[in-house]
Amino acid sequence: MMTENPDPLVGRQGTPFEFPIELGKVREFCRAIKTRAPEYQDGAVTPPTFLMASALWQSRENSPWGDDAPNLARLLHAEQEFVFHGPPPGVGAILTGQSRIDRRYTKTRKSGGVLVFTEIVTDYRAEDRLVAQVRQTLVETSKAAAQ
């Protein structure tokens, strides 16, 4: 059973952050994901999942959680979606990202435990134009995962 209740965290945003697309970082990312696609190597476009590297450019202020961060021992990453409004950004682009808590809902497990789902959306803009959105779904379990 799924329930959706008004939640004070929904709509909360982190402060914007800058994410410059640098050729060296794109090449390092390509090496990590084991791709040699030429369009990525010369920086014409970035791999779609490269936006996840922006996490390294963020600080606590950029998180929409504020002082209400979930318990990491009970947190699972459930889903990730990348939506581009045009081609993925290329080297030289300077993106401004901002994350927000878009939706929260709970599901009751057959075992009686509760799962809290949180959807976080990060908008990436260049020159005030929406370039991409990353949507991630996190799940907080009612008890910590087995060690």
Q: What is the pLDDT of residues 102-137, one digit of tens each?
A: 999 999 888 778 899 999 999 999 999 999 999 999
> Does 135 fall in a domain?
yes
How confident is residue 5, by pLDDT bands cut at 50, 70 and 90? low
> Does 5 fall in a domain?
no
CATH number of 54's domain: 3.10.129.10
> Does 48 fall in a domain?
yes
> Does 4 fall in a domain?
no
Distance CA 8, CA 104 (A): 10
Chain-wide mean pLDDT for the chain?
A: 90
- Its domain, for residue 33, covers 12-141
Closest CA to 29 of 41, 15, 13: 41
Q: Give the pLDDT of residue 1.
A: 55
Distance CA 47, CA 60 (A): 26
> Does 1 fall in a domain?
no
> Does 7 fall in a domain?
no
In total, how many domains does the chain have?
1
Contact 120, 98 (CB under 8 A): no
36 φ, ψ (degrees, to nearest 5)? -120, 20
pLDDT digits (tens, 9 = 90+) for 23-32: 999 999 999 9
Closest CA to 10 of 104, 106, 134: 104
